Structure 1
């Protein structure tokens, strides 16, 4: 079975499984990472981030101003690309047995977002709750529960990082002005929003493929490690 087929099956499977688990609260993690990517890109290009808002429906918005007009392009690209790369990072960390590092990075990004950017009430409440739960998982949870928590977050980020830009294609087909970052890029470059939405989706799928490959590699390695050693026979 090709890695692309495995990736698609994993995405479908994770979408089904995570919808069986009360996971709506945690889906805001991908939104937070997306908006954090916009904010970091803005600051890197000498812009100013006024604030970020996160909403209950898993959407978000970054309010910023930029002195360089061309900066609209990298800043608009940064959101979905950061979310896709972050999902890949989480699975790469898992493949190396560094789940604690992954949770620490999630906590650090959440804390920076809370202190520097997020100002609306739901966003602040989400970040405080998420930081508290993640710190408790790091400090008190047994390894099996911490690993379950980590994989839940990783699969949610993977799913959201692909289905998010995928939904932009639908929005761009219905109304090119309602496709979020793809619309911003279309307005500045003249390239249709559906083209940008498709590029976001292809990049997300490529990152998902790398993430699934890392996950399957870890699983195969663990299976080989747990396999009992063959008994040898010796003659005197």
Structure 2
């Protein structure tokens, strides 16, 4: 691949994240990752997952049943905001290890499993469209297309994982996010919500730094 082709996924991801109109649409992908993090953690901690809803305003909700407090509930509330960044770091590791097909196929499988738990029409549409795009690239794309798309996935999750945390704190400052994940964690642990926002930001920025370290050497390779 040419140097331009390697830089293009990063540039496209950055444009989608910093431009208001495209971000409003593409942010649905970050919401899918966010709610998937809640759902997977709920299952891993022994909670009973009852459903996931994704809304057209890019918000979402994951409902699980179990103890209303304790480590399982804390872990479930915590993972939403950090999951996109952690997935981005994982995607960066797979892409730079030349595991492109496993990355794309694994993404399709995970979206398919998530689809089982979606409980509203917009959520189904969001997951089906996202999964359909990834599958089309996996099945029909040539190697260069698959590589570029895998790099885009990694960059978009890494960059897109940071912006919602800033948006969260702005809403909290205006008193518009009293039931946010950070505030739920505050009530569950006694640690102020602002501290949890800072932890979310530290994880997201750390993943962006580490993922960038993995991806940037590839971008600097000659064509």
Cα distance in 2 for residues equivalent to 1:182 and 1:160: 18
- Cα deviations by residue, 1:120-157 (Å, 9 ceiling, x for unpaired): 10111121222222212111122333333333333221
The aligned counterpart of 2:115 is 114
Q: Specify whether residues 149 and 61 from structure 1 end up closer, same or farther in structure 2 by C-alpha distance, changes over 3 A only.
A: same
| Within-5 A mapping of 1:125-144 | 125-144=125-144
Paired residues of 2:34 and 2:84 also in contact (CA < 8 A): yes
- Whether 2:2 is the aligned partner of 1:15: answer no
- Cα deviations by residue, 1:139-190 (Å, 9 ceiling, x for unpaired): 1122333333333333221222111122222223222853611010011122
Q: CA RMSD in A?
A: 2.5
Cα distance in 2 for residues equivalent to 1:169 and 1:22: 21
Paired residues of 2:49 and 2:65 also in contact (CA < 8 A): yes
| Within-5 A mapping of 1:75-224 | 75-115=76-116, 117-175=117-175, 177-178=177-178, 180-220=180-220, 222-223=221-222
Aligned residues: 212
Counterpart secondary structure, 2:62: strand
Counterpart secondary structure, 2:67: coil
Counterpart secondary structure, 1:105: helix
The aligned counterpart of 1:27 is 27
The aligned counterpart of 1:67 is 67
Deviation of residue 22 (structure 1)? 5.3
Structure 2 gaps of 5+ residues are: 1-9
- Cα deviations by residue, 1:86-132 (Å, 9 ceiling, x for unpaired): 011111112112222221121111001002x1121011112122222
- Whether 2:27 is the aligned partner of 1:55: answer no
Counterpart secondary structure, 1:63: strand
Deviation of residue 21 (structure 1)? 9.4
Counterpart secondary structure, 2:161: helix
Paired residues of 2:16 and 2:22 also in contact (CA < 8 A): no
Q: Which one has the largest radius of gyration?
A: 1
Question: RCO greater where, 1 or 2, for CA within 8 Å and sep 6 or more?
Answer: 2
Cα distance in 1 for residues equivalent to 2:68 and 2:49: 14
Quick check: 207-216 or 162-171, which moved more? 162-171
Cα distance in 2 for residues equivalent to 1:20 and 1:61: 23
Cα distance in 1 for residues equivalent to 2:163 and 2:59: 13
Quick check: 64-73 or 206-215, which moved more? 64-73
Cα distance in 1 for residues equivalent to 2:118 and 2:126: 10
Q: Specify whether residues 171 and 23 from structure 1 end up closer, same or farther in structure 2 by C-alpha distance, changes over 3 A only.
A: closer
